[in-house]
Every structure is written in C-alpha cells, then in structure tokens.
Structure 1
Amino acid sequence: MSEQPIGPILDGLGTTIDLDEGDLVASAFVIAKIIDKDGEVALTLASSDGLSWIEQNGLLSSAQQIVNQASIGRKGDEEV
C-alpha cells in the first residue's frame, strides 16, 4: 500500500463542493470505500494536515447530522 494524493481520485469520482466566492476550505476529512483486488471492501479515512482526532469526530458528527436531515427531506419530497 502506498499513499497517494486524494485530489485526483476525488476528481475522477466527480466529487465537487459548493463554495461561494471568498469561501476558504480550512480542513478536510474524507471517508472512502475501498475495494481491493480480491473484491474485499474496506473503509479508509484521510484528513488534512493538522486535523486532530477531536476535530475529525466533530466533522464526522456534523456531517452525519446533515446527511440525516437530508434523508428526511428527501422522503418528504417524494411524489405520491
């Protein structure tokens, strides 16, 4: 296993972020599903330099809340 820059990988997956002019991304915490050559699935984490495990937990917890709210919103948006 070797470390690789994640930018090109995320670009290849079509990952984008919605930013307004002047917005600054201060840190990043990436969660990725990995499938190895044998088809085994694993979870991996990557974070920007200097991001502590406490900050990782805060970003993860906040993201989970956003995902949960978005899931609830999508259910209400379904047409009957």
Structure 2
Amino acid sequence: MADQKIGQLLDNLGVTADLEADDMPTDALVLIKAVQPDGGVAISIGKSETLDWVGQLGLLHGALTLISDNGVEGP
C-alpha cells in the first residue's frame, strides 16, 4: 500500500474537528478503516510529517481519555 495525501478523503467522509478560529494545529494522527476488494477490513494510521512515535502515543492516549471521559459521540 502506498502513502497518499488524504485531505480530500477526510473531507469526503465528513471528518470535522472541534477547533477554535485561533487554534493552531501542529500535528495530526488519523485512524482509517478501509474495506478491501476481497471484503476484508484493514486499519491504517496516517500522521503528520513531524509526528514521531512518542507524539503518536501521546495523541492516541489523549484521544482514548477523551472518548472514555465523554463517551463515544453518536450520530
């Protein structure tokens, strides 16, 4: 599987983030679920170019805490 830019993909999926107008995002960690041609399911992780493994773990842990504390958002 080749790396590819996913901005348009995320837009098409309707992905949003709760950011204020003056917030300055510095890094991103994206989890993607994809259905393969054979019907299998794959999970892929995308990240910003400067995000190292320590930052990835920190963002993932922070996201898990947010989900645990606030519950998973429904439709």
- TM-score computed with the length of structure 2 as normaliser: 0.87
Alignment partner of 1:7 is 2:24:
no
Query: In 2, distance between residues paired with 1:71 and 1:18?
Result: 16
Partner deviation per Cα, 1:38-74 (whole Å, 9 max, x = no partner): 11111110100111001100000010010011228x8
The amino acid across from 1:40 in the alignment is G
1:65 aligns with 2:65: yes
More helix per residue: 1
- After TM superposition, where is structure 1 displaced by more than 3 Å over at least 4 residues in a row? none
**1:51 aligned onto 2:51:** yes
Note the residue ranges of structure 2 that are not aligned, 5 or more in a row. none
TM-score between both structures, scaled by the size of structure 1: 0.82
Alpha-carbon displacement from aligned partner over 1:6-65 (angstroms, at most 9, x marks no partner):
100000000111221211111000011111111111111010011100110000001001
% identical equivalent positions: 37
Could you tell me how far apart the structure 1 residues matched to 2:24 and 2:41 are? Answer: 33
Task: Count residues in correspondence.
Answer: 73
User: Partner letter of residue 31 of structure 1?
Assistant: L
CA RMSD of aligned residues (A): 1.6
